């Protein structure tokens, strides 16, 4: 699904700036009510409710992270068991070969490390980063997206209707982007 959306997003469209996050969320709702279904919004911080207004639901990264962590923990527990019992059995201090309580610290650490790395990698991969350049950077006002600007981009083959829509919503700095 995400691949499809990304390729559609490459079409280019019209971008406009709003001054507050509430205006942006309202504009997203209004634009989609007007039938624009390929919207993208930009804000300098995570705006609550913005992703929902866009109808965007990211993959459940925490679930994947938990799964990957459990798998990695199981894997490293197996490695410890295999190396201590099968591959190189040495009795130390009369302890059993499969002395599992002593295997837990490494199991635990590797499990949580892999869970954390999974979350980071999924965030970057989902966002298609690193990607040094993107057409939206050509939009002159875009620097304010990392400062105090709240932007709505309407991807459409019909820029005039998108422009009218943004004007109606009270956006500033309206311009065509990324054709």
Partner 1 sequence: MSREQGQQLIPGDLTQRTLTSRIAGLVLDRRPRPGWRVGFVVSGLLTLVLLGGLAHLFTTGVGIFGINIPVAWGMPIVNTIWWIGIAHAGTLISAVLLLTRQPWRASINRLAEAMAMFAIVCAGIYPLIHLGRPWLAYYLLPYPDSLGLWPQWRSPLVWDFFAIATYLIFTTCFLYLSLLPDFATLRDRALGRGRQLFYGVLALGWRNSARHWARYEKANQVLAVVAAPIVVSVTGIISLDLAISIVPGFHFTIFPPYFVAGALFSGFATVSMLAIIMRSVFGLRDLITRRHLDYLGRMMLLFALVVGYAYSQEMFTAWYTGDEYYRYLMIDRWTGPYAPIWWGMIFCNVVLVQLLWFRNVRRSPLWLFVLALTSNLGMWLERFQIVFTSTHAEFMPSTWDTIWPTGWDWLLYAGTLGLFTFLMFVFVRLAPVVSMHDMRTAMRERSQPESTDHERARHE
Name the site residues for partner 1 (rule: CB under 8 A).
Answer: 21-22, 40-52, 54, 56, 58-62, 65, 79-80, 83-84, 87-88, 92, 95, 99, 102-103, 105-106, 108-110, 112-113, 115-120, 122-124, 126-127, 129-134, 136-137, 142-148
Minimum CB separation of residue 178 from partner 1 in Å reads 11
- 3-state class (DSSP) for residue 46: coil
Minimum CB separation of residue 158 from partner 1 in Å reads 22
Minimum CB separation of residue 166 from partner 1 in Å reads 16
Token pair 């390929």 in the structure block, residue: 38
- 3-state class (DSSP) for residue 130: coil
DSSP state of 13: E
Strand ranges, E, within the chain:
13-18, 39-42, 150-155, 172-177
Nearer to partner 1, 89 or 160 (CB): 89
Chain centroid offset of residue 143 CA:
20
Nearer to partner 1, 35 or 132 (CB): 132
């Amino acid at each position: 699904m995400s691949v499809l959306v990304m390729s559609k997003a490459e079409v280019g469209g019209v971008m406009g700036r709003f001054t507050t996050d509430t205006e942006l969320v309202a504009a997203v709702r209004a634009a989609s009510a007007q039938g624009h279904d390929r919207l993208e919004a930009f804000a300098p911080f995570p705006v609550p409710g913005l992703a929902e207004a866009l109808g965007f639901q990211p993959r459940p990264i925490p679930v994947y992270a938990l799964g990957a962590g459990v798998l990695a923990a199981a894997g490293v527990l197996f490695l410890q068991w295999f190396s201590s019992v099968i591959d190189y059995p040495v009795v130390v201090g009369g302890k059993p070969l499969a002395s599992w309580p002593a295997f837990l610290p490494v199991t635990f650490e590797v499990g949580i490390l892999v869970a954390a790395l999974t979350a980071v990698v999924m965030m970057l991969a989902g966002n298609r980063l690193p990607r040094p350049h993107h057409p939206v950077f050509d939009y002159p006002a875009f620097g304010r997206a990392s400062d105090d600007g709240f932007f709505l981009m309407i991807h459409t083959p019909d820029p005039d209707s998108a422009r009218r829509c943004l004007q109606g919503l009270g956006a500033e700095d309206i311009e065509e982007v990324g054709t």
